[in-house]
Structure 1
Amino acid sequence: MKKLLSLLATTGLVATTSSTVVACGDGEAAKNKNVTLDKQSIEVTQGGTGEISITSTNDLTGVKIEGQVENKVTATVQDKKIKITVSETAEEKDYILTITGDKINSKHFLVKVKEKSVSSLTTVVKTNVILYSEIVEVTQGGTGEISITSTNDLTGVKIEDQVENKVTTAISGKKIIITVSETAEEKDYILKITGKNINSKTFKVIVKAEPAVKTDVILDKEIVEVTKGGTGEVSIISENDLAGVKIGIQVAGKVTTAISGIKITITVSKAAEVGDYTLTITGNNINSKTFKVRVKAEPAVKTDVILDKEIVEVTKGGTGEVSIISENDLAGVKIGIQVENKVTTAISRKKIIITVSEEAEVGDYTLTITGNNINSKTFKVKVLAK
């Protein structure tokens, strides 16, 4: 003990006016404050939990964990265990936490946050994506679009092999928006779309030189009606060269176009939905111009009708009947070119009721029966004097 006091005095830790007594049991007490952790580091997956067991001869009341990151990596002490919780948003990195308390010596431990991986029991089957265009031409300083079709979720999809400040992309919904700077070289750029749930797919961005001053084009019609399974045409009027003219945002396998000279030929497949499709004509020397393709349903196959008589005699002031024979539905059937207040008709089931007024002139009146599902048919009403 004297040697210990002497040593403390020489280091300046013992005051000249009093002596400090160090109990022989202090070293043992300090040793008893040590805690032992069954592991110094633990791996926890994003969104998961983990545990570290504590061994200590001292009371763990009031023990706390320092170094927690709110809403990311948190920990509590329960029943001699450190219970660690890692949120889905925690970064994939190492976090140093410390267990401290009045009755224990502080102890550091490491929480290694790992990226959440798909369970081996639920393997995701990747699917192919379809790009409506695998080659897109974009002018220096311009933008382009490619539509994406995929049966799988597109979350986490990204575009690889972009060229910083030259050819860049963004994904909005199911579209790839391509932006080409004015400094991009006039050449082809191969980019790749990748994602957790899709097979990678490459596409080409052809960068074109900035064109001369563009002019507006005039289309002979801005709405063209085309029946499912049919074709239509739009003529182009432009003062500028139509080199490089094309139609963007076509619908693969449904509404497609071809340009020959100054004509746009539109082809609509039978698989196309009825409704409006907006297409855009673009070119090196023209300003973009949209037009609409209105897809109409295929008409029903019309059949001929048979009338039991094609000439019906009716006396002035009287009525007559014609029976209709048809294999098709008679919905929408009507009689055209009636003579108001003189020769009028009504259709009841499969009969045409003809009414002739007293004012009708004697002679022949030719009427026509028409309908949605039948071919037109004429018949004659012969008005007779009383």
Structure 2
Amino acid sequence: MTEQRPRTRAVRAGINIDPAHSAVVPPVFLSTTYAFSGIGRPGEYDYSRSANPTRSVLASAVAQLEGGAGGVITASGMAAVTATLLGLLPPGGTLVAAFDAYGGSWRLFDALERTGRLVLRLADFTDPRALDDLAGADLVWLETPSNPLLRVTDLAATCAAAHAAGARVVVDNTFASPAVQRPLEFGADVVVHSATKYLNGHSDVVAGAIVAGTREVADELAWWANTLGVTGGALDSYLALRGLRTLHLRMAAAQANAAAVADLLVSHPAVTAVHYPGLPTHPQHALATRQMDGYGAIVTFDVGTEAAVRALVDGMECFCLAESLGGVESLISHPATMTHAAMPPELRAGAGITEGMLRLSLGVEDPADLVADLRNGLDRALDA
């Protein structure tokens, strides 16, 4: 069979595999249980928490797109994080995580440290000196681009340093998606996703995904997901698989919109800072150009004060004030009071998250409408 390109694989995942009726689109299997052919003779599937045909198709598709040996679909992105941590980190082990990680991930890391289940060290992986301080680490947890500052980590260098220290590497690839970045190619051991975001792409499914570079690790993490009971549902998997088929089309349109919005932001007097890897002024622009197929569809910027934030978001027509990201619709969020509210103020400040910061998730609307709506909001912020 001819090797297919990623965009083709995403579209063709599960297509024309139905042996019963030759359905082009794979059916959704809602059954919770499957009949044994006899005592001690289960089939490939026996109980849907352990394995489900619909979920298997999605897991295989995501694993192929990431270039992994196997995948697991979970009930949420945080379920994927939890199963990965418990599966790879020994009791009392040391986790070195990005200091500006997603607030929900930090909350879990912090809770596990406070209850004695792990030792947490936070690091700025954009600083080369962090790679010299991985001694004793059991697991290194990366986000690149990071949430919400869009800092970019050198995956090849960091994975090499972590492996030299005897640690495994997990990369949260939610912000990029495999259409833009594939961390396993740079030496990562495991990739996790909030599949709620770009993989599904329509803001109507909560799900997570784990992809491992080896079959052994994939099987280990599948065991943990089943044991914890955090595997995803069949209908959610069916909907996410439907969304996955348009991943590359959606990402191309959303990235073009991000570039258009970034051009506006750097020129508007209400804006004090813009964080977007596609800008030549971004500190890791050259690295992002080498490591990514595009620059993603998230743009973060600062308007200085919470008063300016309130003036900007009040009256927006093409951006919903909401958490999450990666849907076909454009969203705007205020990290300090939304996605990173769980972090203490001093940690937010240390990570560079300010009261005047806003994060945009660009959808696939007409760029002219998005730019006009945002310009109006920036004008309001300027007068606040």
- State the TM-score bracket (shorter-chain normalisation): under 0.3
Q: Which of the pair is proportionally richer in strand?
A: 1
**TM-score, normalization by structure 2:** 0.21
Higher relative contact order (CA 8 A, sep 6+): 2
Q: Which of the pair is proportionally richer in helix?
A: 2
